Amino acid sequence: MNILHVYPKIPEETFWSLKKAVAFIGKKAALPPLPLLTVSGILKEFRPDWHQRLVDLNIEKLPEEDLEWADLVFVSAMIIQEESVHELIPRFKKHENLKVVAGGPLFTSQDTETDGIDYFVLGEGEVTLPLFLDDFEAGKTKHRYETDIKPDLAKTPPPNWDLLNGKFKHYSGMSVQYSRGCPHKCEFCDIRVMFGQTPRVKDNGQFIRELELLHDAGYKGSVFIVDDNFIGNKTRVKSLLPLLTDWLAQRKYPFKLMTEASVNLASDQDLMASMSDANFYKVFLGLETPSLEALTECNKGQNVKLDLVEAVQKIQSHGMMVMSGHIVGFDSDDESIFTRQIEFIQKTGVAIAMVGLLSVLPKTDLEKRLKNAKRLLSKTTGENSNTLTFIPKMDKDVLMSGYYHLLKTIYAPKEYYKRIDVFLQHYKPTVRRKFGIVGLLGDLTALMRGSLRLGFTKHGYYYWRLLVKTLLTKPKAFSEAVELAICGVHFRSVTKRIVSG
């Protein structure tokens, strides 16, 4: 049996794609499709004699000969990839004997069918995929496989890195997963809906074995632990980190790590120190808003309890660059929120601050509330920067113009470089790097391309000033300074696209 895994295209002009930023280091995409690599790992365990290939449309084209070769095509997609999915299906259906199997958040979270999909394997694949495989071979396949069962992650096979043979070079980092679920109850978030409120984690040895396999595959560099809240189960995380630290040290630090966490990380000195020791160099936080009313409204109590600016600075003082998400459009927001968000973001010193409109994700508490109030207009597209899918309390035109002003302000070169200065004041680099000649060439490529692209423009002064100041005052953070300058190119490009409509 021949299995073709196809990962649909993610729109380039979004904050999350970082497409223009990774191009500076000669890469095509930020991360590989971990969901399909994990599905492939499950297939490898249950059907080891089946042949598998991967096509990631974010780095390559889909050859017709691959479609002719395949018996089954597996597609996993997020909501934002829906347009690409609809473009792919007609190509699949031209091959009469090719059956399409779909899963992932796009299909799991939506109640509607998608024409052209033969089988939906929904929810967590550790449960539903083996059921599908058994029925498929028995010739009694159902159209849909879905379950609310939350599997024990200790039984999850490792990602099948073999599918990336020859493709590592196209990605700026690799991705792995340690846990699923989040203990918090944020109204707009769908993590609790998909993965539950009780975080489930992999065994420590199992997770380190996954890193070992990635290392054995020849990869060195940045690794993103994609958990939606890495510290959701603090007890288990604290037991993992010393083992992870030892493993990295023994191998002379082949990986530097990044992840997502809740802001209460800043309340745990030992946890921050342990993550720093384990070579974490970046962490994404959902800061959302400086408005206590809005935080209370969306049930984000963990943010209410802390001074968010101070929390960011504490985390950055432990060697972890903070990236952040922000939202406007809450019911309690008024016209002052845009100025307040600008001031808040500038004070934090978070350069990579991604601001979106409030997005109504399927099956969330927010969707239920707005549906009951008859305020829903349309389903979400996954793009939260230019589309309102609900009736806001604030005048829509005021909301949109204020949002555009916010984006144009925080990503203007002057304000953006100011935030990098604030970041460097509090940042204490701790990351260990030993990625060999490949990593060195990547850094040099970024520096040269960044200098050519940024250094000889009307805003070149900010770029050269940053490099010189960093070399003189905090040379260990030079790589981060160059990276942030380059990321600014991507964010200004996305902002231009959003504002121009």
pLDDT value at 476 more than 80 = yes
By DSSP bridging, strand 200-201 and strand 179-180 are antiparallel
Residue-wise pLDDT tens digits, 178-234? 999 999 999 999 999 899 999 999 999 999 999 999 999 999 999 999 999 999 999
- Which of 324, 326, 318, 325 minimizes the C-alpha distance to 350? 324
61-75, 107-121, 141-155: segment of lowest average pLDDT:
107-121
The pLDDT, as a whole number, for residue 442 is: 56
Burial profile 52-73: b = 16 or more Cβ within 10 angstroms, e = fewer: bbbbbbbbeebeeebbeebebb
Query: Identity (one letter) of the amino acid at 448?
Result: M
* Residue ranges of the chain assigned to CATH 3.80.30.20: 173-359+393-426
Q: How confident is the model at residue 457 (pLDDT cuts 50, 70, 90)?
A: confident
The pLDDT, as a whole number, for residue 185 is: 94
The token duo for 474 is 């905090």
Q: How far is CA 355 from CA 146, 386, 494, in A?
A: 34, 11, 11
Residue 224 DSSP SS3: strand
The pLDDT, as a whole number, for residue 438 is: 43
The token duo for 123 is 């929810």
Q: How confident is the model at residue 380 (pLDDT cuts 50, 70, 90)?
A: confident
CA distance 5 to 1: 13
152-156, 394-398, 441-445: segment of lowest average pLDDT:
441-445
CA distance 491 to 316: 21
pTM of structure: 0.94
The distance between the two most distant Cα atoms of the chain, rounded to a whole number of Å, is 69
Domain 2-17+30-145 class in CATH = alpha beta
* Residue ranges of the chain assigned to CATH 3.40.50.2300: 2-17+30-145
Residue-wise pLDDT tens digits, 261-309? 999 999 999 999 999 999 999 999 999 999 999 999 999 999 999 999 9
Give domain 173-359+393-426's CATH superfamily: tm_1862 like domain (3.80.30.20)
Q: How confident is the model at residue 428 (pLDDT cuts 50, 70, 90)?
A: very high
Residue-wise pLDDT tens digits, 223-264? 999 999 999 999 999 999 999 999 999 999 999 999 999 999
